[in-house]
Structure 1
Amino acid sequence: MKKHIVGITLLVLLLAMAAGALGWWFAHRPLTLKTPVVDFTVQRGSNMRQAAGVIADAGVDIRPALLYWLARLGGKASLIKAGSYEVHEGITPWLLILKLSSGDVSQGELLLVEGWNFRQVRTALENNPNLVADTAGLSDGDILARIGATESSPEGLFFPDTYLFDKHSSALALLARAYGAMQARLAEAWAGRDPASPLRTPYEALTLASIIEKETGRAEDRARVGSVFSNRLRIGMRLQTDPTVIYGLGSDFDGRLRRRHLDTDHPWNTYTRAGLPPTPIAMPGLDSLRAAVNPERTDYLYFVSRGDGSSEFSRNLNEHNRAVDRYQR
């Protein structure tokens, strides 16, 4: 009887060892993928059983039940995290489980460039292969409503930066982040504004910053360009800035600004209308925001490009005409 019990015990131990070896082999053997790289998304609230099904459906050759039990036996089944994941050839079941439990999500990237207008922003969003293009087909007003913006125009409302996001994220969600970032930067700049500034509201500051962004090729000139526009606003002199005219022309602009364009009145023509245009004309960066609310203290009223990205500043029209003759004519 005793020998019989010993035999059974040895058999159980051998079976346990075999099962352990089989489990180790299964956990560490490379999986077959349908393609060299497989992407999948674990939705928020999913459990390990559901995640295993998603992984198999995406193109990872594994039985969902086996992956679930491996995660459970390894103490990881309750630790999986939602997000978008990317797996490559050579991944093993155990490494896959570690990826899920550590939240090692794959990320996409989108660069919103200083000086872009909203048409360019929409194009970048809707052409990014890692974003769900849920802005497509929506009007600008619909987009603003869905991200909680109260402004009537989307122009200039989004902070230019590099945004990282989980793959297959919503384009609207990314826009909401960029909108929140601009609101925070604008509020910070406005709180530290020069008390002598002629600007009356943060939105006016955003509008002026967008003009400064389009008028400057060098960061060191921005505060001085800001002083020219602030000085003009203070004395009621028209801004007479080409980028606002070009913006108002929209798709009709063929790349060459002509005299007739400057003489044709529209809401963004700062040659024919005094004050700021009704909306920003582009996305300003942080330096331009600061230059709008804290310009240099100067008596400059004019500037002209030197052709190398820098600007020549003048106090009166005679000085300005000489600078134009020197650098433009």
Structure 2
Amino acid sequence: MSVNQDEHRLAGRARIAVAGARAATGDVFGRSSRRERLGNVVFPALLLLALSVALAGLLAIIVWAVVEGGSRANVDLITNGTSRLDAASAGYREAILGSLYVIGGVILLIVPLGVGAAIYLEEYADKTRWWNRLIELNIQNLAGVPSIVFGILGLAFVVRGPLSLGFVAAAGAITVAMLVLPTVIIAAREAIRAVPPSIREGSLALGATQWQTIRRQVLPAAFSGILTGTILAVARAFGEAAPLLLVGATTFVTFDPSLFENRFTTLPVQIFNYSKQPQEEFQVLAAGGALVMITLLVVVNSFAIGLRNKFERRW
């Protein structure tokens, strides 16, 4: 009988101790001033407001493009060539091909260069060396440089300078790749940095080399984050016009461009040129081009997001 009473007393004391600990913890961490409580309400509200404004702006652009250019939303808008005279038969074939050439070249450049630079800076670089700190500083600064500056650099070093490619789509791809490469490097570094150190330590403990650990463990785990940065970079590159004007994206191109021959044009440049025409038909044509551009962006991003989600589930 006395044993049962002792057990009940011990259990009661334990419950009292737990309740006291909870009360003390709640008293220390649960106290918040009126200003903090107000901040907890206002800050999420501001975030929701900012998101709503961004979505409303995007929705307004889509609705405007559908209303103004919906009458031209047909196959001819994609397959017909450009024209300065007949808006009824004009299209965006050359501009679409030019954009695909430029974006294809951008992807081929930014993925290996961006991921390789991120791997070096996160896995191999000695942070105490001055040149590694200088590289990091330059990457962060280049992410905020205006796009027109990259256009000038492309004109000086890619079109005319050491490369001397001329006013071709390849020069545009290299120029835009330089513009969005810092974004890819920064996103890839953050994705690689987010991989838990225990994964690296476990792989190395089992006898794998550092490169085997990076290739078989780190990169698969960071793939979704790397692909997210690439998607953002490609979306920005797709809408760029200012740097391309300096490296060969001319006003009107009446022939199908190629990667290394002849001049080229892209969708943003051609939409801008159509919108400058005084005739109302060309204004409608420009809105139709905006609709085509939005559709292509949605298709490309949807494919990339689906690929990212597939690798996330696999990992």
TM range (shorter): under 0.3
TM-score by length of 1: 0.23
Higher relative contact order at CA 8 Å, sep ≥6: structure 1 or structure 2?
2
* Higher helix fraction (1 or 2): 2
Q: Which structure: larger Rg?
A: 1
* Higher strand fraction (1 or 2): 1
TM-score by length of 2: 0.24
